[in-house]
Structure 1
Amino acid sequence: MTFSPYVLGTGIAGWNFLDRTRVQQQQIFEKSPILDRAVQDFTQKIEGIQSSDQLLDDYNVLKVALGAFGLDEDINNRAFIKKVLDSDLSEPTSFANRLNDNRYLGLAQTFGFGGETGPQLPSSSVEKPYANVASPEDLLSNQTLLNQALDDFGLKKYAGNEFFLMRVLESDTTDPASFVNRLSDSKLADFANAFQFNQPPEYTSSMEALVGEFSAMNDGNGPATADELLENEDLLAAVVESFDLEYTNTIFLKRMLESNPYDPNSPVNQQEDPRYLAMSRAFGFGISDINSFTSPEELLAQPLLLEDALEQFNLSNPGEQYIRDVLESDLSDPNSFVNQPSNLAFYDFAEAFQNEWPSAPSRMQVLASEVGGKLAGYEQPQQFVFDFDAFEAGLDVFNISERELDFDVMIKAFESDLSSEISYANLHRDPNLKAMAHAFAFNPGGSDHTYPAGFAQEIADLYKDRNFEIAIGESDPNMRLALSLERELQSIADAGGSEDAHWFGIIGSPPLKSMFETALGLPASFGQLDVDRQVNEMKERAQTSFGTTHPADLLETEKLDEFRNRFLLLSGLNSDQAANGFSDPIFTLFQ
């Protein structure tokens, strides 16, 4: 026979009985075969749940997950819960961030299917309501969040000056001469620094970092010299990681970068590791300046440089003697070799060599130009491989010949598990191919959805607590609310933020909102007011009733008891009124 928790008496007397007997009653209740099986099933299966679809497909695991957040009624609302779970919480306008009920946000944050942060313990999943604001525009366009943020820093007097606040938020707080650092109010600098909208970008791969840091220098042209590259710590780190370099002494790297990659006798060509040669070719700091050549022999002595020179004019190599005859031709003589009808395709080539050789972008410049705005859009390696210009630019940077490479080989490398030492990319004979696969990191490998230690236990405990509350609520709905009070209020306090932020959190929690409306003697129509007005009214009544306007103060033992007793007393009066023909929405909250 299944044990059913019970309460003797109502109101404050009933609470006192429940408070004394809760531990014993809950221990017996949790031995229920149905509850025990559900918890064990969840604990055993949760590590294997790697996507929202997997969670939704396992009814028993989903039941515990939703039940832990008091969302049992949504068990059959699959489409809605999927939108919640898959919400990108870094996007302020995402589905979960737009819902008024913060239980859904807590669910999405805890399981972490929609973002890059992954799962987190329920006890650490609550954030400030404006923590996911991505830009100054996001903050300034949401008046409620802006008011909370300004109140946090004591800056409410600036609430109406959006142009001024935009300049503050866009300021570089690390620059002493920036707008915000020239203001007398130091709280404004703290405000700007807290949001850090002007912080360096976060990269998801070493290639993204390489292209981003390269493009940020010299109007997108990258470093002009090896010294400029080596002095830029972020770019240097991206270069080392992208080319997977093992020896990174800066003196050595400078020598490699300044070596002529087309001279077989240069230092970089004496290295056994081909990745240093790929790096040297990609930046081209050591490549000979063709404008300095005084004879065709100097160009012919560097076959690879000659190939690149011909490619600039879309020409193929017809042989050394032919090239020599072209470059030695008298351009003004209509009878010269290059002026013959069959050789005119080489005229511009000869003219450039004899007068001024046009500058060509480095391989890194070409790659940055081709993929700079596309990297984030390459969700599958096939999208990159079949974007031919971008793919060819990538192969050039890593010194991989497209003539010898099958598309399937590169796709197989990109798709292999880079975290596995025996994956295709990691075992490939070409270190440059391996480096390229790691740089683009289409499949970094490993489980991105690793649950933190204690995750299953915390969810299970929450589920058991809420089920006990549900069982109590079957006999007395107000006792169910009273049981949840400390947990719900603690979650609001744990979120941090200002006093008003806590009140906004209370309004976003159906159980707390109902309890506060009852304890503060607010009418049923109260929820129809503007949210800022609701906060002001609640603060005034809290000051009158409990001597404080800060919800966190109510977690003090004496004030918590005072609040709960007041709620139970007034809810009892509402019950009496309901018995005489009046109704209160509190009783329908959990139905």
Structure 2
Amino acid sequence: MTSTTLSTYTSYLIVNRDMKSSLNSVANQATVSRESKYYEENIGKVTSVDEFVDDYRLYSYAMKAYGLSDMTYGKAFMKKVLESDLTDSASFANSLTDKRYAAFAAAFNFTSSTAMAQTSVQENTLVKAYQSSFDEEQTSIQAEVDYYNATIGSVTSVDKLLSNSRATAYVLESFGLDPDYTSKSYLKQVLTSDLDDPNSFANQTGNDTFVALAKAFNFNADGTVNGGSAQTADQKLSLKLDYIYNKSTFPSDLLADANKTYWQTKISTMTNVDELVDDNRMVEYLKTAYDINVQFSSSIKSLLTSDSAAEILGYTHVKAMFNFQSDGTIAAGNAAQTAAQLASINASYVTAFQADQKDTVDNAIKNYQTRIDEVTSIDDFLTSNADDEDEDNDDVTEIWDVALRAYGIDPHEVGKTKLRDILSSDPDDPDSYVNQFEDERYVALVKAFNFDAEGDISTPLLVQSESVTNDYASDYLRTKTKLLTGVEKTEAKTAAEKEIGYFQTQMQTITTAKQFLADERLVSFVLEAKGVDSDWVTTDDLKKMFASDLDDPESYVNSLENKAFAEIVASFNFDTKGNVSSDPVGTVQQRGDVLTTVNNYVQQTLEEQQGEDNEGVRLALYFQRTASDITSPYNILSDTALFQFFKTTFSMSDYISNMDTAQQADMIENYIDINKLQDSDYVTDLLKRFTALYDQANNNTTSPALAMLTSTSSTRISADTLLAVAQLSSR
């Protein structure tokens, strides 16, 4: 019996027909298994590029995984590759023609400084909450006003008022008093005082606030009311205006309306300029309306009563808005302001108030966004604007005030020491400091930042690291624009960038596998970035994949033929329960990249071992694996193995390497339709042509067809022929 050498194509088919088994066989080889285990156990301990390249076992393993073994000696060169900023198209790795280097750099996270006080999503969420807080404040204040006005009409005694804690709080807060620290019995004595009696309780307090509080109601000494009304309409209005004024923390529309009403009410009964300058709220209104920059009440009085003083101070136009005489009085028959003057000051006030309202919010947000990017610790966060050198920040809201307001926390209820302890707490630890308060506002505040237990900024706890989401974004863009040109490419890029924006933003909000799988847009993005048609994968399949144990070779995701699914699952920082986990965060290589590196290493080893018996098989396997990534003839020219495949497939002489590069590229395009390399049938035809011509050039085997024609009865059909027939029969 004669033996026949298997053809290159048949040898290729033997390996490729069950690639999963072929790869598993290699992965289980003692040497491969040992090196893979070493890599998986030690790559997470690396903290710098120098550590990495100095550990030869780790470094050479990774270099081989990405087909760069021949450059293992070039440590200095590879350090530059690993230290490249892949978001910069001009960076070292991106400037290299051979894209294997950029792929190698993308598998690691040596350059990204991922520690940050807030991610963009955390910052945007806080800013939006801050902006919303102003509307919420107005709504809350108006709700209390409406409640009180609807309630006070039925109050017929002081006891009935004080039994209603919500109404009582409204009254006290209208006068700037804290309900938590004001005794109801004390308040009852104030409200039932006879203000005409100098010895009454309210008068004896010596406190104008309590006297004014007693004046706001009509309770008798026994706590009853005459005529069934605790307050007149004017008293209710006055209380409302005071409540809005004292509860407002920013220049809201509600406050503007209240201030206008307050001004109109007071100015209409005013008989002397002293009544105006002695009322701080009136002075504020006047200063806002006309942008008056004088500090002393005496100066305000002068510019309102003296033409010369008004001229010297530059406020003659303000003086003209009032009818005060030089002694501060108002002539008989006149009012402090005419209807026209009143309309004018109100118009000026509204214009100035609205500008101030917008500036207050916009400046606070701008200052916050500028300063939060510079924060490296809680101490930085709690540093006052006033501490900044060469800047006049006195009127800018402190960034911690912005944060506290965003989560409904009054700055007066938490000191800096307490705030520092809260922000350095672990919100997921039920025994941590922040959870002792049992207050979700504080928990939400802590989760809005990324401070560690020492008070320093740390890596954000994300479902995917920033480097991984960037890799997915790059893969998605490349997939969506591959082989396109001109307008089509521009439109595809625009559409892809929109999806990338959504992906990068939304991924920062995902905390569970369930959340991720519920977002079809995110799921499709991830699958398509890895070259998987989302239409061919069901939600149930994905649920089983994400529920799989990646460490169990028999788990569902590991049993799939396409290893891309396991790599996708591994790229997420989910624990066994499907919740985001901090374990994989902060290493130089994320779990998904580790798995990809190991898979690549096994693939490279398989191809190398096949090449030891038949170099043609190695080249065929390599071409089959990389063909769909070829988008230009220059991809072939820059890759020694692909160029050798091309030359063999089309019987090209090695002398073509001496041709001009552009001429070589033109030649490749004349022989290979780059666009068809996405078509598996076209790739198979090229593989058949390559293997046949490789065998012919290397005298590897006799033609199966010729062997059949010349066979005798004693000649058996070769295994080569049987396999070829089996392949044809299976179609």
- What TM-score, normalized to structure 2? 0.43
Deviations 1:342-370 (A, max 9, x none): xx9xx799998996665535432212443
Deviations 1:401-427 (A, max 9, x none): 999988777677666666666666776
Answer with 96-105 or 395-404: which moved more: 395-404
Question: What is the CA distance between 1:204 and its match in structure 2?
Answer: 1.1
Aligned 8 A contact 1:502 1:551 in 2: no
| One-letter identity of the residue aligned with 2:34 | R
Q: Name the counterpart of 1:465.
A: 603
Question: What is the CA distance between 1:559 and its match in structure 2?
Answer: 0.9
Q: Distance in 2 between matches of 1:435 and 1:302?
A: 39
State the secondary structure of the residue aligned to 1:453. Answer: helix
Q: Distance in 2 between matches of 1:433 and 1:78?
A: 49
Alignment of 1:10-89 (within 5 A): 13=7, 16-17=10-11, 19-20=13-14, 30-45=27-42, 59-75=56-72, 77-89=74-86
Q: Distance in 2 between matches of 1:512 and 1:278?
A: 77
Q: Distance in 2 between matches of 1:412 and 1:312?
A: 43
Q: Distance in 2 between matches of 1:529 and 1:560?
A: 24
| One-letter identity of the residue aligned with 2:139 | R
Aligned 8 A contact 1:63 1:72 in 2: yes
Q: Name the counterpart of 2:399.
A: 394
Q: Distance in 1 between matches of 2:142 and 2:54?
A: 58
> RMSD between aligned alpha carbons?
6.0
Question: What is the CA distance between 1:65 and its match in structure 2?
Answer: 2.9
| Alignment equivalent of 1:104, drawn from 101, 105, 123 | 101
Deviations 1:555-587 (A, max 9, x none): 5574143243156247639xxxxxxxxxxxxxx
Say whether 1:512 aligns with 2:642: yes
Q: Name the counterpart of 2:256.
A: 288
Q: Name the counterpart of 1:255.
A: 139
Deviations 1:497-547 (A, max 9, x none): xxxx3545444544223322432344546567776654432121236xxxx
Say whether 1:486 aligns with 2:486: no
Say whether 1:239 aligns with 2:123: no
Q: Distance in 1 between matches of 2:650 and 2:421?
A: 65
Q: Distance in 1 between matches of 2:56 and 2:108?
A: 16
Deviations 1:228-257 (A, max 9, x none): xxxxxxxxxx523x5897xx9x8x676248
The share of aligned pairs that are identical, in percent, is: 18
Aligned 8 A contact 2:649 2:689 in 1: yes
Say whether 1:453 aligns with 2:453: no
| Alignment equivalent of 1:365, drawn from 357, 362, 365 | 362
Q: Distance in 2 between matches of 1:278 and 1:97?
A: 59
1:9–1:572 CA distance, 2 compared to 1 (3 A): farther
State the secondary structure of the residue aligned to 1:484. Answer: helix
1:488–1:396 CA distance, 2 compared to 1 (3 A): same
Unaligned runs of 5+ in 1: 1-7, 119-202, 211-237, 316-322, 494-500, 574-591
Question: What is the CA distance between 1:467 and its match in structure 2?
Answer: 1.9
Deviations 1:186-232 (A, max 9, x none): xxxxxxxxxxxxxxxxx81343467xxxxxxxxxxxxxxxxxxxxxx
1:402–1:335 CA distance, 2 compared to 1 (3 A): farther
Q: Distance in 2 between matches of 1:115 and 1:46?
A: 17
Q: Name the counterpart of 2:478.
A: none
1:427–1:348 CA distance, 2 compared to 1 (3 A): farther
1:512–1:328 CA distance, 2 compared to 1 (3 A): same
Query: When the two structures are aligned, how many residues end up with a matched partner?
Result: 418
State the secondary structure of the residue aligned to 2:37. Answer: helix
Aligned 8 A contact 1:257 1:285 in 2: no
1:330–1:278 CA distance, 2 compared to 1 (3 A): closer
Aligned 8 A contact 1:259 1:287 in 2: no
Question: What is the CA distance between 1:35 and its match in structure 2?
Answer: 2.0
Aligned 8 A contact 1:67 1:463 in 2: yes
Q: Distance in 2 between matches of 1:409 and 1:530?
A: 71
Q: Distance in 1 between matches of 2:413 and 2:315?
A: 27
1:403–1:86 CA distance, 2 compared to 1 (3 A): farther
| Alignment equivalent of 2:687, drawn from 554, 558, 561 | 561
Q: Distance in 2 between matches of 1:432 and 1:303?
A: 37
Answer with 372-381 or 510-519: which moved more: 372-381
| One-letter identity of the residue aligned with 2:642 | L
Unaligned runs of 5+ in 2: 146-169, 181-244, 268-274, 322-347, 451-456, 469-566, 571-591, 700-731
Question: What is the CA distance between 1:97 and its match in structure 2?
Answer: 2.4
Aligned 8 A contact 1:503 1:535 in 2: yes
Say whether 1:207 aligns with 2:207: no
- What TM-score, normalized to structure 1? 0.51
Q: Name the counterpart of 2:540.
A: none
Alignment of 1:170-181 (within 5 A): none
